[in-house]
A and B are shown apart, each in its own frame.
Chain A
Amino acid sequence: MVKDFSALVGELKALREAETEAQGMLDDAERRAEEIMRETTEEVARINARIEMDVANAYGKMQERMKESVAAHERKLDEDFNEEVAKLENKANERTEAAVRYVVEQALRTEV
């Protein structure tokens, strides 16, 4: 129980100081909360930036694989082509003379 006025003032002052201290705690907590949210926003930005990087890296690797696949396919086709052309030309060379003879005969064939 308050005994006198000066003691009452002292107690009120002490309570006001406690309120100020409490408000300080709350202000600190709010600032820290804001800081946490700012850091969170930055972290989200970093996460999103990493997507771009990951996708770009993956796409780069896919393109490399694509080039390799297409190049391998083209090499195979070239090999097949050379092999086919060699076979084709051998066969055609063997048959050209007969074909020429036949066409010449047809060109010289008259209806009378």
Chain B
Amino acid sequence: MPLSPGSEAIRRRILEEAESRAKRILSEASSKAEETVRAARENAEKTRRARIEEREVLVKEKIERQMAEASVDYHGRLEEKKTEAVNRVFEEVAAQLNAFTAEKGYGAFLFRLIVESGVKLGGGELLLQINGRDRDRIQAATLRKAAKTIEEKANQKTTLELSDDEGNFSGGVVASKLGGGVFVDNTLEERLKLVQRELTKEVEAMLHGE
């Protein structure tokens, strides 16, 4: 049955209003959705950029650190090579000093070492320790001569006595005051240590300088 015009108008208005509200609900939802997605994309891009930049900084620092470590290692290895070359010099010096003990001039050198040691101790009653091989080189007359030379240089009456203990060194002498703890180590090993301490820088410059 057809509605009266008044009722029909009310019915249409109900449906039109409902349709309009439904459209508004959907439109608001769509707008809200679009805005949410747009904001999410914008935030995502900012976050993505910030996090990538953050990692770029980390990676850059890591690269710089690793490169610096490699450079330090490079210089360390180069220094090792320089030190090896210097050590080779002192090894060769040790070998030549050792070989020198069998040469003709060694006897005179040993005499000078004894005198030098005695003078350093200021003369007096001195005990000398030498190695087994050198005992043959040092005769009583040599000791007297050395004592006299020390006396002259130190201005002190001097006697020299050979110790019964043989020194466990390749050459040279250990001289000490009889009855006292003062001694002078003038062995070849000690002289090598001394020149190594004093001349290492100089040898470095000789080998590696301009």
List residues of A whose CB falls within 8 A of some B CB. 1-2, 7, 10-11, 14-15, 18-19, 21-23, 25-26, 28-30, 32-34, 36-37, 39-40, 43-44, 47-48, 50-51, 54-55, 58-59, 62-63, 65-66, 69-70, 73-74, 77, 80-81, 84-85, 88-89, 91-92, 95-96, 98-100, 102-104, 106-108, 110-112
Contact = CB atoms under 8 A, between A and B. Distances in A.
A33 B40 contact: no
Contact of A92 (B51, B55, B85): B85
A62 B47 CA distance: 18
Given A29-B26, A40-B33, A48-B40, A7 B1 contact: yes
Given A89-B81, A96-B207, A110-B116, A23 B18 contact: yes
Nearest to B207: A92
Which of A15, A43, A48, A107 has most B Cβ within 10 Å? A107
B102 interface: no
B191 to A, nearest CB: 5
Given A7-B4, A112-B112, 11 more contacts: A1-B4, A21-B18, A33-B28, A36-B33, A70-B66, A81-B77, A89-B81, A99-B206, A107-B93, A107-B194, A112-B149
Interface residues of B, number: 74
B138 interface: no
B11 A37 contact: no
B168 interface: no
B77 A108 contact: no
Given A25-B22, A99-B203, A50 B149 contact: no
Interface string B180-210: 0000000010011011001100010011100
A55 B15 contact: no
A26 to B, nearest CB: 6
A40 B119 contact: no
30 contacts: A1-B6, A7-B4, A15-B7, A22-B17, A30-B25, A33-B29, A34-B29, A40-B32, A55-B55, A62-B56, A69-B63, A70-B63, A77-B70, A85-B78, A91-B207, A92-B85, A92-B207, A96-B92, A99-B89, A99-B203, A102-B203, A103-B90, A103-B93, A107-B93, A107-B97, A107-B191, A108-B100, A108-B109, A112-B115, A112-B119
Nearest to A69: B63
Interface of B: 1, 3-4, 6-7, 10-11, 14-15, 17-19, 21-23, 25-26, 28-30, 32-33, 36-37, 40-41, 44, 47-48, 51-52, 55-56, 59, 62-63, 66-67, 70-71, 73-74, 77-78, 81-82, 85, 88-90, 92-93, 96-97, 100, 109, 112-113, 115-116, 119, 149, 153, 188, 191-192, 194-195, 198-199, 203, 206-208
Contact of A29 (B3, B21, B113): B21
A30 B97 CA distance: 105
Nearest to A98: B206
